[in-house]
Amino acid sequence: MYSEKVRPPAHAGFFYPELREELKNTIDKLLKGAVVPEIKAKVLGLVLPHAGYAYSGQVAAFGIKNLSKEKIDTIIIIGDSHYEYFDGVSIYNRGEWLTPLGKVKIDEDLAQKISSESKRFFFKSSAHIQEHSIEVQLPFLQKVLKDFKIVPIIFGSEDKDWQELGKAILKHLSKKRILIIASSDLSHYPCWEDAEKADKKTIKGILSCEPKKLDKTLREMEKENIPNIQTFLCAEDSIKTLLYIMKNLGSKASLLKYANSGDTAGEKDKVVGYAAIEFLDIKN
């Protein structure tokens, strides 16, 4: 039963294994297959995919793996709504989220501070009940980190709230160790070849750490009339929020892994693109 105090997993058994040991073994296998360069800098932000683990889990593992050496207090996870359209931004500000690996507490203090920055920010429980884009990140994070809290944030529509949210988060980045994750897949439903070309351009825009450059890239690609394209980036607002913050922090972005569903568990005539991108603290 759903309550605002404990959000149960909505997609266990569908996007990822429902049984605890099977889920742990699945994630262990994915992490073992992710070979990433060792880093000394702190990871400030990540772009991670949010499809079923059979499709995007290996890509996600590349982004998650370097976190195993980190001590992170709070993770802000931002996604765009896939199930409910609403005006504004929903910030989950109370209780806990449950997965087969246990409970994760909400950083209620940080969530409420961010929410207080705009009338556009509020808590809308229905925005989170079925949303998968944040939920699928949690088991990975639980596997590599301990004693962290989360602030789940969902955009209800595509608008300009991303800049206001970015400013609000920047204002409340405290002495605590905070990681920011933008949960997004890339191109939806072109053929494998078209996805490779389009996603390469989108990734270049993300690596620039410039929201305006990314926006220009996406708007230009929309004019190309690529067959079967539904979107080039399913969480555009989330990515722009992350880029706004990372630019202001002076971080450096790098691509850790790219693949699409045609490379993993799907057909090549209709694919979804996935990328793991990290943003490093190069100032400290």
Return the CATH number at 130: 3.40.830.10
30 falls within a domain: yes
169 falls within a domain: yes
State both tokens at 116: 């207080």
- Which domain does 272 fall in, by range? 6-280
130 falls within a domain: yes
1 falls within a domain: no
Domains: count for the chain? 1
Q: What pLDDT sits at residue 3?
A: 54
pLDDT tens per residue across all 284 residues of the chain: 445 689 999 999 999 999 999 999 999 999 999 999 888 899 999 999 999 999 999 999 999 999 998 999 999 999 999 999 999 999 999 999 999 999 999 999 999 999 999 999 999 999 999 999 999 999 999 999 999 999 999 999 877 799 999 999 999 997 799 999 999 999 999 999 999 999 999 999 999 999 999 999 999 999 999 999 999 999 999 999 999 999 999 999 999 999 999 999 879 999 999 999 999 998 76
110 falls within a domain: yes
* Cβ count near 233 (within 10 Å): 27
Half-sphere exposure of residue 122, counting CA atoms within 13 Å on the CB side? 10
3-state secondary structure of 236: helix
Specify whether the CB–CB gap between 199 and 275 falls below 8 A: yes
213 falls within a domain: yes
Q: What is the DSSP string of 14-26?
A: TTB-SSHHHHHHH
